[in-house]
Amino acid sequence: MSINITVVDESGEAQEVEWKDNQTLLECLHKNQYPVLATCGGNASCATCHTFMDPEHFETGGDERTEAEEDLLEMIDDVANDYSRLACQTEYNEGLDGATVTLKPGM
Ligand code: FES
């Protein structure tokens, strides 16, 4: 199974990509050739995989943020917002079909 999401890269270019049900958002982005740094290897300790979910899908389509994700986003609250997600902590969810994910500039 898979869903489609739109990814907006740091230059503002939008592209629709497939997200398969066995992937985290980070794995989906890497599979689709987005050079997301992910320094900690997906362990919720670096925030270099920071993304922004569109508000509608943040509310309806995603799992709750993990405690580790919340803690890390608080540490980068100068750049994070209410719709921030760490791509490594964002699990596949059919409710995210049609979502727009914006990559943080400078990823
Ligand atoms: S890859 Fe480090 S927090 Fe997501």
Ligand 1 center from residue 104 Cα (angstroms): 13
CA 49 to ligand 1 center in whole angstroms: 5
Instruction: Please write the tens of the pLDDT for every residue from 19-75.
Output: 999 999 999 999 999 999 999 999 999 999 999 999 999 987 766 898 999 999 999
Ligand 1 atom closest to Cα of residue 87: 4
Q: Is 33 exposed, middle or buried (0-12, 13-18, 19+ CB in 10 A)?
A: exposed
Q: Nearest CA to 107 among 48, 52, 54?
A: 48
- Which ligand 1 atom lies nearest to the CA of residue 72? 3
**pTM (predicted TM-score):** 0.94
From CA 11, how far away is CA 55, in angstroms rounded?
Answer: 21
Domains of the chain as residue ranges with CATH: 2-103 (3.10.20.30)
Ligand 1 atom with the smallest distance to the CA of 88 is: 4
Does residue 42 have its Cβ closer than 6 Å to ligand 1? yes
